[in-house]
Amino acid sequence: MASASAGEKQLLHLVIGGELKNVSGIEFRDLSKVDFIGAFPNYKSAYDAWKGAAQRTVDNAHMRYFILHAHRLLDPETGHSHDV
């Protein structure tokens, strides 16, 4: 996984994906088969990982990958969660 550069604040992003029940929705067909690509310290590295995963599965119309902005859910400095 990529690491944050010196002086760059870490903003945790998670990249996951899997087959959706319906191409117009966001509900996974089988949660046991969700593909966890990784955890990344910034949006740029998460985007690069997302793009690579999405391009590898372009032939499957039901397959989708998502970038989750985990830093918006939990503040690593205080440990407090944020309302979303």
Segments forming the whole domain that contains residue 61: 13-72
pLDDT digits (tens, 9 = 90+) for 54-67: 999 999 999 999 99
Does residue 36 sit within a domain? yes
Q: Are 67 and 12 in contact (CB under 8 A)?
A: no
Q: What is the pLDDT of residue 7?
A: 66
**Structural domains of the chain, count:** 1
pLDDT digits (tens, 9 = 90+) for 20-40: 999 998 999 999 999 999 999
Q: What is the pLDDT of residue 21?
A: 95
Q: Are 8 and 60 in contact (CB under 8 A)?
A: no
What is the rounded radius of gyration, in angstroms, for the C-alpha atoms of the chain?
Answer: 14
Say which CATH number the domain at 43 has.
3.30.70.2400
**Residue 79: is its pLDDT beyond 80?**
no
Does residue 77 sit within a domain? no
**Residue 17: is its pLDDT beyond 90?**
yes
Does residue 45 sit within a domain? yes
Strand partners, 19: 63
Over residues 76-81, mean pLDDT = 64
